[in-house]
Amino acid sequence: MQSLEKNLIVALRHATAAVHESIEQLPIMCRIMSTTVTRIDYYHYLLVLRELYTPLEAALYTTVAPDIQMRLGVRPKLPALLADLSEQATFNTDKQNTIAALREQILLAPAIQDANHLVGSFYVLEGATLGGRVIARHLHKVLGAELGGARFLDFHGEHTSAVWKQFAGALDELCAEGYLEPNAVINGALATFADLYQQLARCE
């Protein structure tokens, strides 16, 4: 247990490596990173993620104590996601029937209420900002100015690495101080990754 308490961020990385890799291989992820990606692909991707972030962030920011949130340096990303969706929804109104059909394929992920599990969920969402920046850069390269703001994918901008280091350091500190139960945090991260995988896989 002592090793986990001091190196929780490393344990999380190892425990979630396989599911993280499987998510990257899903068709929707391959499409969003392809050289032929379109704005409708991007809109679809955001729409799918909205259905995970909406219930999950509601649980995160009402269950995890504010002082823990502050130490981790986390803040809601759903408003940025909704802003990007709104921006993309206006680009071509004749796509709306297609989007409505896609929407019917998406199921809401269940919200986990245990605080330790939810901190594990924070690990997944904060880690996603690292990959999100890579996706944003790719989309900017392929779509150019048509992409729009990409507020959600490039949530922390130039501060992405610094924010992640703060989060990782705080997570290890909170475990060492006994505020978190390491195995429960890992289980929460795995559960959230599983929800994310199902969400992205179901939309095909």
pLDDT of residue 3: 54
Q: 170-188, pLDDT tens digit by residue?
A: 999 999 899 999 999 999 9
The segments of the chain whose pLDDT lies below 50 read: 1-2, 94, 97-98, 100-109, 111
The token pair at 112 is 């986990």
Torsion over CA of 62, 64, 67 and 73, rounded to 10 degrees?
-100
pLDDT of residue 146: 87
pLDDT of residue 172: 92
- What CATH number labels 2-202? 1.20.910.10
**3-state DSSP assignment of residue 76:** coil
Global pTM? 0.87
pLDDT of residue 90: 76
